[in-house]
Amino acid sequence: MKNRYILLLFTLFFVVTGSVAQDGAVIVSGTVYDKAGNNETFPGVNIICRDAKTQKRIRGTASDLEGGFSIKVPVGSELVFTYVSYKPTIYKVKKSVSGISIFLEENINEVQETVIVGQRRVSKANLTASATVIDAKELADTPVPNIMNLLQGRVAGMDIQMNNGLPGASGTYNIRGVSDISLVGNNDSGWDLASSAPLFVVDGIPQTDVEDYNAEGLISGSGVSPISNIPVEDIANIQILKDAAATSLYGSAGAYGVILIETKKGDSPKPRVTYSGNFTISTPPSLREVAIGNAERNLLKWQILNNDTSQLYHGYQDIMFMPAVSDSLNPYFNNNTDWQDQFYRVTYNQSHNISFSGGDNLFNYKVNGNYYTEKGIVKNTDFNRYALTGNMNYTSPNSKFTIGVDMKVGFTDNSTGSGNAVSQSGVASGASASSLLPPPSLYSASVAALQVFGVENSTVKSNYSATVNLGYALPFDIKWRGTFNYSYNSTDQEKFTPAILSDSKYSAIAYNYNSNESKVYIDTHVSRTFDLKYVMLGLTTGIRYNSRTSTGNSITYTGLPNDYIIGPVGHGKSEGSATVSQNQSTFSFMFAPNFKIKTKDSFKAGGDKYIFDPTISPELSSVYGTRTKWNINPSLGFRWNIGYESFMDRFTWLDNMSFRLTWGQVVKYKATRYDVFGTYDIDPGNTYNGESYIPIYCCPIKLSKGIICIARLLIFSGRVSF
């Protein structure tokens, strides 16, 4: 009996030993270090075990707070160590080992080497489209209310014009000369120049910049850009997509180009608090030299006497009837007021930014708060911004599941005063006032001069945005990613003109405009890479849905009894519109294959030899009409990395050379929902046979043929890059 137990124990021992040997699993342990950090340990590094032949993932883990790790893996497999902004390191498992050291090297050019095109992040060496990347380091330590001001002169083919110097105001942006000369509006409200502004995409979410421009080139409404809510300190990089091969995936909204803005994420293994502050002084530019006081009086006399040739001594008679010129002893006309000094000022501005960030490759977080205030050099103008942003990202140890949450809250308060420089109205018209007049006061000088101090014109904007990004690795190496966003924007504009400055029979005028807008944005797509015999095929396809609902109303109070009571009281009356609600939605598909011709060697810049990118983005919108077919936005892109060819080895002085050829078509519909469905004329005086009726004020466009207001942009470009 005893021998039987001994035999059984030996049998179990060999069975267990045989199973372990068959599995071939060993334990690998060690420590991860930062190569550039004086051998500082590296916590939170993502460690993936994969099959060396099939590249199939087996299991994963992460380094602990001291950078250490221990993982059970099969012999012959590979351990891949990855971290954000660091080059991946591969360790081949040959046997059980402990105490190994893994050093990660920072990838300094990671951001510059990749560009986002649609839903794909593409290496610049494989990019067929035209794009420019501006790194955050190029924009650092430059406090501005609008980050677009910093891009002037930095991007080839992009023209930025600031039409006025109001703090926080938006300018006009034009990429490669693609613009629109269409007019919108009517004879009653005036004609506005349609916007040719590119599409802004902030962290994957489209943002509406300005809509239209008036005849003077100024923005209709408040003119405060939503991009003004983004502080410079929170920007990781800005990417400008120029041609249709890059913008067609964004549909008609990207007809005039696309500007992508990525904000920073947490990238510090240990919690980090960062503060930056700026204090600046703004001074008026060199102004024109003017003759004031007695010099102006003598100049006026000289002009009258030397230019009036109608009859003898007539000039002297003119001077006698001009008290401002002849009566030099009158204290009202005996002044030397420098009106430029009355309008302009030296201002002291400041900005403060504080952030709290941390995390690793698996989990990171960042919270950023910003305060910015700027006073305009023209009195009674200023801009204030309060911004709070936060994001959190998590990736499972096996990299199969990712989730990211992004929250943004922004408030802007902008005072614009009265008038503008382009049309020489309001404040600007007072620049030509005579220096002989006394300084501005309630009972003297010109109305235009008083408008600098008396007219109140302020716009308060509130922006709220919440985004959830999800990703999951499906079976058959299919990757799914979805972006879900909800945003709410509110605008409140108030303008008050005192009685002394109004043209309404010396009664004050008050104006109020309020609008609320909510948006829903959904973008979901799947991608997979097929390793074929001669071609590496990448396929990305998905859908996009964008809905916008807005309400707005405006009211004007006239005939107010005094400057302190605002409302329809006494003889005052109100004129305005009832609350107007409208909605608009867009639905589109996206299909973007990517072909890479296989070669024996890899391109020295990290790309491939031949790349071909055809894309198509069919789109439907509520402004197309009920019978309008899909709006197809196709594009083709080809790139030949000539530097990979063997005959280029003889040119040792040439580091790289490539050839790109792109073609694309984007259809921009200029119609509105009013063009599709028409509008009604709501007037109590509309009666027929004693009965009230509501006639159609504007007839809709014929729906049988769809909307015919089309701006078709064909973009063909070829380029050789050295």
In one letter, which amino acid is 116? I
Is the pLDDT higher at 349 or at 143? 349
For residue range 297-352, what is the model confidence (pLDDT) as tens digits?
777 777 777 776 565 566 666 666 676 676 666 666 677 777 777 778 899 999 99
For residue 487, pLDDT over 60 is answered with yes
Q: What is the pLDDT of residue 112?
A: 47
How many contiguous H segments (helices) and E segments (strands) does the chain have?
Answer: 8, 42
Is the pLDDT higher at 38 or at 155? 155
- Distance, CA of 256 to CA of 200 (rounded, Å): 11
Tokens of 24: 């071939």
Cβ partners under 8 Å of residue 449, min gap 6? 339, 342, 343, 430, 433, 440
For residue 456, pLDDT over 60 is answered with yes
- In 3D space, the residue among 429, 422, 419 whose CA is nearest the CA of residue 216 turns out to be 422
Cβ partners under 8 Å of residue 519, min gap 6? 485, 486, 487, 488, 489, 546, 547, 548, 549
Is 414 within 8 Å of 383 (Cβ atoms)?
A: yes
Which sequence spans correspond to the domains of the chain?
A: 2-104, 304-334
Q: What is the pLDDT of residue 22?
A: 39
Average pLDDT, stretch 264-292? Answer: 84
User: Strand, coil or helix: what is 180?
Assistant: coil
Q: How many angstroms separate the Cα of 411 from the Cα of each of 369, 387, 613, 713?
A: 12, 6, 41, 36
Q: How many angstroms separate the Cα of 586 from the Cα of each of 9, 253, 266, 328?
A: 72, 10, 33, 70
Percent of the chain topping pLDDT 90? 12
Q: What is the pLDDT of residue 628?
A: 64
Give pTM, 2 decimals: 0.73
Tokens of 212: 């239209």
User: Strand, coil or helix: what is 20?
Assistant: helix
pLDDT grade for 186, boundaries at 50, 70 and 90? very low
For residue range 203-234, what is the model confidence (pLDDT) as tens digits?
888 886 544 433 333 343 344 566 777 888 88
Tokens of 608: 């491939």
**Which has the minimum average pLDDT: 325-334, 488-497, 511-520, 628-637?**
325-334
Q: What is the pLDDT of residue 713?
A: 46
Greatest Cα-to-Cα distance within the chain, rounded to the nearest angstrom? 151
Is the pLDDT higher at 580 or at 431? 580
Average pLDDT for the chain: 74
Is 566 within 8 Å of 610 (Cβ atoms)?
A: no
Average pLDDT, stretch 641-660? Answer: 79
Q: Is beta strand 183-186 parallel, antiparallel or unpaired with respect to 40-41? A: unpaired
Q: Which helix (H) or strand (E) holds 102?
A: strand 97-104
For residue 171, pLDDT over 80 is answered with no
In one letter, which amino acid is 522? I
pLDDT grade for 391, boundaries at 50, 70 and 90? very high
Average pLDDT, stretch 522-549? Answer: 89
Tokens of 430: 């007072």
Residue owning tokens 């280029």 = 648
Residue 95 DSSP code: S
Q: What is the pLDDT of residue 18?
A: 39
Average pLDDT, stretch 537-550? Answer: 89
- Distance, CA of 222 to CA of 170 (rounded, Å): 10
What is the CATH class of 2-104?
mainly beta
Average pLDDT, stretch 587-612? Answer: 74
For residue range 397-452, what is the model confidence (pLDDT) as tens digits?
888 899 999 999 989 888 877 655 444 455 555 556 666 666 555 455 455 566 66
Is the pLDDT higher at 546 or at 318? 546
Residue owning tokens 């006032």 = 433
- Distance, CA of 213 to CA of 226 (rounded, Å): 16
Q: Transcribe 369-433 into DSSP letters.
A: EEEEEEE-SBTT-EEEEEEEEEEEEEE-TTSSEEEEEEEEEEEEEEE--SEETTTTEEGGGGGG-
Average pLDDT, stretch 7-16? Answer: 42
* 294-301 contacts at long range (C-beta below 8 A, 24 or more positions apart): 294/328, 294/336, 296/434, 296/435, 296/436, 297/324, 297/325, 297/328, 297/436, 300/324, 300/325, 301/325
Average pLDDT, stretch 190-202? Answer: 68
Q: Transcribe 615-644 into DSSP letters.
A: EE--EEETTS-TT---B--EEEEEEE-GGG
| Cross-sheet strand order for the sheet of 183-186 | 183-186, 190-194, 212-213
Angle at alpha carbon of residue 107, lines to 104 and 108, rounded to 5°: 135
- Distance, CA of 488 to CA of 547 (rounded, Å): 12
For residue 518, pLDDT over 60 is answered with yes
Is the pLDDT higher at 138 or at 76? 76
For residue 385, pLDDT over 50 is answered with yes
Is 542 within 8 Å of 119 (Cβ atoms)?
A: yes
For residue 173, pLDDT over 60 is answered with yes
Q: What is the pLDDT of residue 425?
A: 52
